[in-house]
Amino acid sequence: MIRTLVREIQKKQAPIVVGLDPMLDYIPSHLKKAAFAEAGETLEGAALAVWEYNKALLDAVSEFVPAVKPQIAMYEQFGIPGLEAFKKTVDYAKEKGLVVIGDIKRGDIGSTSAAYAVGHIGRTQIGESRISAFGEDFVTVNPYLGSDGVLPFVKVCKEENKGIFVLVKTSNPSSGEFQDQKIGERTLYELVGEKVAQWGEECTPEGCAYSNVGAVVGATYPEQGRILRALMPKTMILVPGYGAQGGKGADLVHFFNRDGLGAIINSSRGIIAAYRQEKYASYGETGFAEAARAAVLDMKQDIAQALG
């Protein structure tokens, strides 16, 4: 799957992933009004608004970006109907030719991680049948439980040609509380980064410069990005925190390799709620999808300039 992701990044000349984190606050009021009129102020009503919002966004941006990253928490908060909207979003994005990164941050002990892995990127054995439950292409994985929490995902990556991104240095303000702690000469995030590189060794497709085991490193920590880039040369880095969380184009250069590849930058709010920014206000609330498209094109230019 990493080969597909790299190819699509190159084809679309955009190392960009659009984060589909549909908080109700971001969804334009005409969509919410219509959804609530049809299904009430219920989990079903919220899920309907989410789905209509995502569909319009996917229609607007899919030709310009290689990938989308739905954040499952934003669907899970709406219960079963919300998770149905998640699944519909995954399916629709794949129909549009996009690579889908499920931002699920799962991680557990062996047999339980295996259940998450088959459920999200593999197929679940039921009697004689093997059935795909959620069907993402990549998922994000939490490393706190160590190798035996991560390797079941790696196993499914190999079997099904899928990929993962392991949390290494996250974009949030308190990520340093544990991740930056010094263990001898190294920090915890460096130790995790080394493990990511190791897990990736056995999961690199023939002739591909990158592995199916990627890493998450926040745009908000460019210096750590530089260190981790050197430590994990064959690792694709998924970089959240650009835009609304404060990461700037110029900070991103540290996350890329000299081949101009090796990182994919996520923006969520900055794109899907672009219509709420002064810069894109002229699109109006009903023009939210066109505003998102304009924000994607601006982001593409910002990154190209920074890398140029």
Site for a second copy in 189-228 (CB under 8 A): 191-192, 195
From 62, 179, 235, 267, residue interacting with a second copy (rule: CB under 8 A): 179
Taking CB under 8 A as the rule, does residue 78 contact a second copy? yes
Q: How far is CA 264 from CA 28, 228, 286, in A?
A: 28, 15, 29
From 4, 112, 204, 277, residue interacting with a second copy (rule: CB under 8 A): 112
Asked if 272 contacts 26 with a C-beta cutoff of 8 angstroms, the reply is yes
E strands, the chain, in order: 16-20, 67-70, 99-106, 124-126, 129-131, 138-141, 163-169, 182-183, 186-187, 213-217, 237-239, 263-267
How far apart are alpha carbons 257 and 249 in whole angstroms?
15
From 1, 118, 265, 296, residue interacting with a second copy (rule: CB under 8 A): 118
Taking CB under 8 A as the rule, does residue 185 contact a second copy? no
Of the listed pieces 8-16, 166-174, 203-211, 247-255, which binds a second copy according to CB under 8 A?
Answer: 166-174
Residue placing its CB nearer to a second copy in the complex, 95 or 148? 148
Residue placing its CB nearer to a second copy in the complex, 176 or 260? 176
Q: How many residues bind a second copy (CB under 8 A)?
A: 72
How far apart are alpha carbons 266 and 251 in whole angstroms?
14
Q: Which of 55, 87, 105, 155 is catalytic?
A: 105
Which burial class, exposed, middle or buried, applies to 34 when counting CB atoms under 10 A from its CB (0-12, 13-18, 19+)? middle
Provide the Cα torsion 158, 160, 161, 167; round to 10°: -70
Token output for 27: 């969804």
From 15, 28, 45, 70, residue interacting with a second copy (rule: CB under 8 A): 45
From 7, 10, 37, 125, residue interacting with a second copy (rule: CB under 8 A): 125
Active-site residue flag, 105: yes
Taking CB under 8 A as the rule, does residue 82 contact a second copy? yes
Site for a second copy in 241-300 (CB under 8 A): none
How far apart are alpha carbons 188 and 8 in whole angstroms?
33
Residue placing its CB nearer to a second copy in the complex, 172 or 301? 172
From 147, 198, 286, 305, residue interacting with a second copy (rule: CB under 8 A): 147
Asked if 236 contacts 199 with a C-beta cutoff of 8 angstroms, the reply is no
Residue placing its CB nearer to a second copy in the complex, 190 or 287? 190
Which burial class, exposed, middle or buried, applies to 29 when counting CB atoms under 10 A from its CB (0-12, 13-18, 19+)? exposed
Which of 190, 193, 239, 243 has its CA nearest to residue 219? Answer: 239
From 54, 62, 170, 224, residue interacting with a second copy (rule: CB under 8 A): 170
Of the listed pieces 104-112, 156-164, 253-261, 276-284, which binds a second copy according to CB under 8 A?
Answer: 104-112
Catalytic residues: 105
